[in-house]
Structure 1
Amino acid sequence: MSYIVDFTTVSPVGLESSPVADALAGLRANEARYFKNKYDHSFTVEPAGEAQDVVDWVHRILKEERDIVISSPPLEATAFEVDGIRMAYVFYESGLSVNVMYTVDEAGKRAVGFKLSDGMEVPEELASRFKFARQKSKLAGTIRGSFFVIKGEY
């Protein structure tokens, strides 16, 4: 069942099994606020099992681009298109959020972003490959993030 993320009242609905559920809910709400303010898009997530095609697409890009396999189970996922940009998000039990920004236009930007919820450790599969910058958020506390540019076609 899909869930429209409310960024005015942050709720860990769907994320309860995460040891950092409240921080992950804040991170998810932070993304929802961004898309509502910038694109007037309602950020809607589904349980990962109901959005397996999205999870598979994100995992395929991670594997083929950087040989990354996320060890934490996915909890929720979403995919949508705004202003010619295909976006996909997967939220993991560990507190990790992975997003893919894939501009439909061939000359556009294509990247994978990683965001770590406040209080979680850097996952082992990412620790030696990426440096994480810090950003403050009223909804999510301290978010640590990193990214890489997608080179292939997906």
Structure 2
Amino acid sequence: MPYIVDFENVSTVGLESSPVAEALAGLRANEGRYYRNKYGHVFTVSPAGEVPEVVERVSRILKEERDIVISSRPLEATAFDVDGLRMAYVFYESGLSVNVMYGIEADGKRAVGFKLSDGMEIPEELASRFKFARQKSKLAGVIRGSYFVIKGEY
């Protein structure tokens, strides 16, 4: 069942099994606030098992672009179009959030972003490949993030 992310009353609903559930909920709320404020979009997530096509698309892009396989279990996912971008998010039990931004136009921006919840270790599959920048968030504490540009067609 879809869950509308509330960034005013942050909840761990759907994320309870994560060892960093509070921080991951803050990270998810931070994304919800961003899309509401910038685009007027209501950020809604579903249990990963209810939207396997989103998880599979993100996993395929990671594997084909950089030979990355995320070892953590996906908890929630979402996909939506906003302002000429096709977005997909997967939130993992470890506290990792992966998003795929894919411009709908042929020459549009295309990238994969990684965000680490406050308190989690950098996953082994990402540690040697990326450097993570830090940003502070009222909702999520310290978020560490990195990205890469998608070169293929998906």
User: Which of the five TM-score ranges fits, normalised by the shorter chain?
Assistant: over 0.9
Shift of 1:116: 0.1
State the distance in 2 between where 1:83 and 1:136 align. Answer: 26
TM-score (norm 1): 1.00
Per the alignment, residue 37 of structure 1 pairs with 37
Per the alignment, residue 6 of structure 2 pairs with 6
Per the alignment, residue 128 of structure 2 pairs with 128
Shift of 1:107: 1.0
TM-score (norm 2): 1.00
SS in 1 for 2:34: helix
1:1-154 equivalences under 5 Å are: 1-154=1-154
State the distance in 2 between where 1:18 and 1:59 align. Answer: 20
SS in 2 for 1:145: strand
State the distance in 1 between where 2:69 and 2:105 align. Answer: 28
Q: Which amino acid aligns with 1:25?
A: A
Q: Which amino acid aligns with 1:76?
A: E
The alignment yields a C-alpha RMSD, in angstroms, of 0.3
Aligned residues: 154
State the distance in 1 between where 2:103 and 2:35 align. Answer: 16
Shift of 1:84: 1.0
State the distance in 1 between where 2:34 and 2:109 align. Answer: 18
State the distance in 2 between where 1:125 and 1:64 align. Answer: 14
State the distance in 2 between where 1:51 and 1:8 align. Answer: 26
SS in 1 for 2:125: helix
State the distance in 1 between where 2:82 and 2:144 align. Answer: 24
State the distance in 2 between where 1:108 and 1:52 align. Answer: 25
State the distance in 1 between where 2:70 and 2:92 align. Answer: 9
Structure 2: which 5+ residue stretches go unaligned?
none
SS in 1 for 2:32: helix
State the distance in 2 between where 1:108 and 1:72 align. Answer: 30
State the distance in 2 between where 1:55 and 1:47 align. Answer: 10
4+ runs deviating over 4 angstroms: none
